Structure 1
Amino acid sequence: MRTNRMGFAAAFAAVVLAVTLVCGSGLVVAGAATRDELNGVMGLLVLSAVVSGFASVFVVAGMLGLHVLRQRRTWALLRSVGMTPRQVGRLIVAEALVVAVLAGLVGCLAAVPYAWMMAGFMRMTGLAPGGVPVEVGAVPFVLGFVVGVVVTLVAAFAAARKAVGVGPLEVLRDSAAQRRLLPWPRAVAGGVALVAGGVLVWLVPRVGPGDAAPTALGTTMVLCVAASALGPVAMRGLGWSLGGLVARLDPGAGMLARSSLVTQPRRAMSAASPVMLSVALACTFLFAVATTDAAVGVVRSGPSVWVGPLLVGSAVAYTVISVVNAAAMTMAERGGEVRLLRTLGIKPAQLARAVCWEMLIVTGIGALLGTGIAAASLTALGMAVSGEARFAYSLPQYGGLVLVCVVSGLVGGLAAVRRPLSGSLLHAG
């Protein structure tokens, strides 16, 4: 763990924030349940907690998977010196358990100020003028801690299955290309989720208007799972196409960016997945409220304007932080690659542009997938509430969200390669 601080720091941060969101949301829901006058916002709080839980599971699983993926050669080296597959698997689970327990404790401590902040925000905006009591009870803490540990261990077990499949000779491979774009379990899971998402898209217009919005939310979640699983295929195709356009604008740096995306589409998709999740969830929530209001002729003002941002705000903030973490992790392992390119005569400025182009393409593809998922759910919602295949949206809100994701990806990527770009060419790490 001392020799891979970047990966474990990113995983630790993801679990801390996940436990904070789940536990803090539980504290607020438990407090609101004690007052009858808060029954009107209970559904809002429960829905916000569900979104936070889904985002937490999605991000933690993706972060652990990325962590194991970037250590393939490490596992192969351990196998080559005699470590058995079972020992490798136990090592990964033990590391994850240490991270999960420590992060869970920190997340539980941070949950109380987070719950106070949520309660204060609801009082300040007038959604709960009398305030939401934050009662510190055992159940939300146990729930948040258990969720953090269980999700981390499940993700670790799944990642360990990939790691134990790494052969001892993997360490001798010179090629960075991934031989299997989609392992069959991932392809099956993605296919099932895609079919389920398609069924939900068909179902949304056929449920009652009161159930259409929650069903659309479920559709977005399921389609996010499908896109994350099958995303490497889209990443390779779109990365080649967009990378080709960039290579015409900036031949040297653009060619490097395209080659990296085509060679390692699963790694790139790991960085794009949080962007996709942020855009899909935020657009679904914000524009679902606007679409429903437009269908019934409601114009919101005052505290009710904050309904959409409150539902999705914490989850989006969490996934934006995950964009920085994922971008940093995908770039941190490439220090040796960057130094090798520098020894071949490529200037640091060219490499910095290549990193920027790569992160722009990755975040752009993530935003494109998230937009498509949200558009499918919202179109079905529009059919349910107005009978027309259209939905309300705000370009400033959408553009601001995408811009935040793009900037986060650039910051994470450039920060991770800053040292190899400016450091010694002889450094081996």
Structure 2
Amino acid sequence: MAMRSLAKRPGGFVAGFLAVFFGAAMVMAFGSLLDTAGEPGVPDTSVETLETMAFVVGGYGLALVIFAVVSTMSLTVRQRGREMALLKSVGATPGQVRRLIVGETLLLALAAVALAIPAAMPLGRLLFAALRETNQIDGGIEYVFGPAAVSMGVANGMIAALVGALLTARRATRMRAVEAMVDAAGAGDAGPLMGRWRWIGALLGLAATATAAVITLTVMDGEGTDVMMSAGPGVVGAAITVALLSPVLLRMTTLLLGWVVRLLAGVSGQLAVSNVRRRTGELARAVMPVTLFTAVTAGTLSMQRVENAQLKAEGAAVLEDSQTMETMNYVVVGIIAAFCCIMLVNTLVAATAFRRREFGQQRLAGATPGQVLRMVGAEAVLVAGAGVFFGLLASLTALVPFSHARAGVWFPSDGVVWGIHGAVVGFAVLVTLVASVGTARRMIRRSSAVEAVLAA
């Protein structure tokens, strides 16, 4: 059944496939630095640099990859709630449904990680070239892509996909057939806004973020460029913490800004606010990549700007010695930011395309295509608003301690720092609107209202 399900409707698995593919490719790229470091004749200083990049910086990316893959795979499986309900109604046992979901996920993940290998090779070579061109490693070292890279990428992709499938399968098998049909139809989010394990993860992330901030302000205060060693993990921890809290944060945003959306968008705004309140848990999945992208990109780039300004004030010699770290920060941030952006588009397209039947029902009830698109746009504004606002707060939890420990001021006076925040916010909002409204427009143009209802 798993094979037939994948072959019958491959489009329904695109989001999960892309999540595993891009995640595995990024992890393999960093893992290839370990293969390179393990070659005979590599100087000890170069080995240390390569291993640091693979374990420390790659570890930040690994955390984001696991989080993003689990979230996307959960969304992919949940969107098949109607199918799961029908299987249970004809006699399928919870164990059979669970094995079906896990089997499909493993097949999907195997294909994704296999195709990620050739994609990871040039990406890893790009990282290696950046290290060599900035003189962080010996110029005579040759790049190697080997077993360490492949094993890390395969393990990460398979484990993350499996965890996502098991979590969602557990939810699907615990719901009765009638509840699953209601949930799949979009009549509302079943269960609590946030589960117990999500709260536990958020509390652990909050503790890790607070610890990083305290270490930055105390132990690392006045330690020069080493301050980034504690502030860097802090921004990633804050981003993941806020992303875990996205259902609560989206509900808060809707309560605070719902009246503005209703006032500006009229009937479409009223419907958008109602949808967000009714389906907070589902739409919060789109808030998570917005938050991750905003927090990681704005926080890291802003800290690098503060670092550059401080180094310039300390003298040209110090600035020259730190150029290699700056180059690598930009390369690493670019890769992680690109991955978060891809996951943002991936999640929004998957979530919006799943609502084809809902859009058809609204049009049959008298809504015009323009009203439906305005509704989707208003929902996207709430999603983007929650993501960028709390993403910026997450970035500040790392930027403020870093700025005080590195430059002696709580808030940087450099206008470029805040310009970075503004640019990141604008880009995140634009991508959210284009992905949501663009997908909805394609769904509406592709078929009539009756065809959309019958096909879904």
Distance in 1, Cα, partners of 2:369 & 2:68: 32
Q: Aligned letter for 1:225?
A: I
Quote how far apart the aligned CAs of 1:251 are: 0.3
Q: CA deviation at 1:3?
A: 5.2
Q: Contact 1:287–1:378 at 8 Å: present in 2 too?
A: yes
Query: Given residue 256 of structure 1, which amino acid in structure 2 is its aligned partner?
Result: L
In structure 2, the residue matched to 1:408 is 431
- Partners of 1:257 and 1:126 lie apart in 2 by 53
Is 1:239 matched up with 2:260? no
2:433 pairs with 1:424: no
Q: Give yes or no for the alignment of 1:254 onto 2:237.
A: no
Alignment of 1:221-232 (within 5 A): 221-232=236-247
TM-aligned CA distance change 1:353 to 1:44, over 3 Å: same
Whether contact under 8 Å (2:26, 2:120) holds in the other structure is yes
Which residues of 2 match residues 166-205 of structure 1 at below 5 A? 166-171=175-180, 173=182, 176-179=187-190, 180-205=192-217
Identity of aligned residues (%): 25
1-structure distance, mates of 2:291, 2:181: 35
CA distance in 2: counterparts of 1:344 and 1:75, whole angstroms: 28
Corresponding residue of 1:382: 403
Specify which of 203, 220, 239 is matched with residue 235 of structure 2: 220
- Structure 1 residue 350, shift from structure 2 partner: 1.6
| Structure 1 residue aligned with 2:327 | 306
**Post-superposition CA distance 1:197-240 (Å, at most 9, x none):** 33433332122336532222222233333222222111012023
Alignment check: 8 A CA contact 1:32 1:133 kept: no
* Counterpart among 12, 17, 27 of residue 12 in structure 1: 17
- Aligned partners of 1:122 and 1:129 also within 8 Å: no
Structure 1 partner of 2:123:
114
State the match for 1:362 in structure 2: 383
Q: Which is further off, 100-109 or 182-191?
A: 182-191
Cα deviation code 1:144-177 (max 9, x no counterpart): 1122112211222222222212212214537622
Counterpart secondary structure, 2:245: helix
Report SS of the residue matched to 2:175.
coil
Question: C-alpha displacement at 1:123, in angstroms?
Answer: 5.5
- Equivalent position to 1:95, from 87, 104, 119: 104
Q: Give the aligned partner of residue 105 of structure 1.
A: 114
Deviates more, 1:106-115 or 1:179-188: 179-188
| Aligned equivalents of 1:394, 1:29: Cα separation in 2 | 34
Q: Is the 8 A contact 1:73 1:170 kept in 2?
A: no
Q: Give unpaired runs (5+ residues) of structure 2.
A: 1-5
Q: CA deviation at 1:127?
A: 6.4
Change (3 A) 1:107 1:131: farther
Q: CA deviation at 1:104?
A: 0.9
Corresponding residue number in structure 1 for 2:3:
none
Q: How does 1:12-411 map to 2 (within 5 A)?
A: 12-31=17-36, 35-36=42-43, 38=46, 41-42=49-50, 43-44=52-53, 46-122=55-131, 130=139, 133-171=142-180, 173=182, 176-179=187-190, 180-208=192-220, 209=223, 212-296=227-311, 297-298=313-314, 306-391=327-412, 394-411=417-434
- In 1, Cα distance between equivalents of 2:157 and 2:186: 36
Q: Is the 8 A contact 1:231 1:269 kept in 2?
A: yes
CA deviation after TM superposition for structure 1 residue 295, in Å: 4.1
Task: Answer yes or no: is the 8 Å Cα contact 1:45–1:311 preserved in 2.
Answer: no
Matched position secondary structure for 2:144: coil
Q: Identify if the C-alpha distance between structure 1 residues 214 and 4 changes in structure 2 by more than 3 Å, giving closer, same or farther.
A: farther
Give the deviation of 1:185 after TM superposition. Answer: 2.6
1:40, CA displacement in angstroms?
A: 8.1
Over residues 332-366 of structure 1, what are the superposed CA-to-partner deviations in whole Å (9 max), with x where a residue is unaligned? 11111101111121111121122122223212211
With over 3 angstroms needed to count, the CA separation of the structure-2 counterparts of 1:400 and 1:3, relative to structure 1, is: farther
1:235-261 residue CA offsets vs partner (Å, 9 max, x unmatched): 012023323212211202212221221
What is the letter of the counterpart of residue 109 of structure 1?
P
CA distance in 2, matches of 1:379, 1:244: 32
Provide the C-alpha distance between the structure 2 equivalents of 1:271 and 1:233, rounded to a whole number of angstroms.
13
2:204 partner letter: V
The CA deviation string for residues 56-98 of structure 1, in whole angstroms up to 9 with x for no partner, is: 1121011112223323333222222211112111111111101
Contact 2:33 2:53 in 1 (8 A): no
Q: CA separation of 1:202/1:104 partners in 2, compared to 1, >3 Å: closer, same or farther?
A: same
Amino acid in structure 2 at the alignment position of 1:401: V
> In structure 2, what residue type is equivalent to 1:366?
G
Whole-angstrom CA distance in 2 between matches of 1:402 and 1:2:
39
Decide whether the 8 Å contact of 1:19 with 1:104 is kept in 2.
Answer: yes
Partner Cα separation in structure 2 for residue 371 and residue 125 of structure 1: 31
Question: 1:39: how far off?
Answer: 6.0
User: How big is the shift at 1:132?
Assistant: 6.2
Letter in 2 for 1:402: V
Distance 2:294 2:418 in 1: 13
RMSD: 2.7
Q: TM-score, normalised by structure 1?
A: 0.90
Native 8 Å contact 1:285 1:311 kept in 2 = no
